[in-house]
Amino acid sequence: MQAAGEEKIARRHLIMPPTAPGMVVGLFGGSFNPPHAGHELVSEIALRRLNLDQLWWMVTPGNPLKDKRALAPLAERLSLCETLIHDPAIKVTAFEKTLGTAYTARTLSAVKARNPDVRFIWIMGADNLKGFHRWQSWKRIAETFPIAVIDRPGSTLSYLSSKMARTFDYARVDEDDAGVLWKHQAPAWTFIHGPRSTLSSTALRAARAAST
């Protein structure tokens, strides 16, 4: 229940999207501040290459590693996400607000506990791979669900140099087998090449600030 004075978030965004046993679901978390066509492109690649039934855009209330002062209200970001996407397989959600945690490791543990018969894959852009080891309990994240890293401009070689890639080199799945990544027990991860968008939320915010 939302407290007086708190921004109004639709109930459907505060609960996990419904699933059915045996589904393969991608989890794509981020601030989406703002969402853009690059997020859409990553999602399209993930849906197709990973054989997903659903893809959840997990819009975070706040990222512990980012400046909250630059963060637009959650309700605004959710609305922008829903305006942008057109694929019904993509579900916009902010259930992390209900869970009361901003840490991915805890979120994924809750998702796994509440959906024991669903196969999940954590999806991240290659631009996040370089600093992945700074995330709280990052090894536990890698050991919870398989991970698909989607190529991003300027980050193609990140999987070679990142601490995550070196630590879990033994668990890497060939890109040709991305469609069955969900069958692998975590830790398991793959790097997916494909079309790349140069758009970024940081650049869009900077451009907007420069025009005001």
Convert the pLDDT of each residue in 33-56 to its tens digit. Answer: 999 999 999 999 999 999 999 999
Is residue 123 a contact partner of residue 129, using CB atoms and an 8 Å limit? no
Q: What are the tokens at 17?
A: 């999207």
Convert the pLDDT of each residue in 51-75 to its tens digit. Answer: 999 999 999 998 665 666 779 999 9
10 Å Cβ neighbour count for 64? 12
Residue 158: per-residue pLDDT? 60
Residue 128: per-residue pLDDT? 85
- Among 73, 75, 104, 85, smallest CA distance to 11 is for 75
pLDDT at 159 over 90: no
Residue 152: per-residue pLDDT? 75
d(CA 138, CA 121): 15
Percent of the chain with pLDDT over 70: 83
Residue 98: per-residue pLDDT? 94
Amino acid (1-letter code) at residue 42: V
10 Å Cβ neighbour count for 167? 15
Helix, strand, or coil (residue 91): strand
153-to-4, 160, 191 alpha-carbon distances in Å: 43, 15, 14
Which pTM value belongs to this model? 0.87
- The CA angle 143-48-120, to the nearest 5 degrees, is 25
Q: Write the burial class of residue 191 (CB in 10 Å: 0-12 exposed, 13-18 middle, 19+ buried).
A: buried
CATH topology classification for 22-211:
Rossmann fold (3.40.50)
Q: What is the residue extent of each domain of the chain? A: 22-211
Question: Which carries the bigger pLDDT value, residue 83 or residue 65?
Answer: 83
Give me the phi and psi of 172, to 5 degrees please: -75, 135
Q: Which residue has the tokens 């970001």?
A: 77
Per-residue DSSP letters for 42-76?
A: HHHHHHHHTT-SEEEEEE-S--TTS-GGGPPPHHH
Percent of the chain with pLDDT over 90: 70
Residue 1: per-residue pLDDT? 44
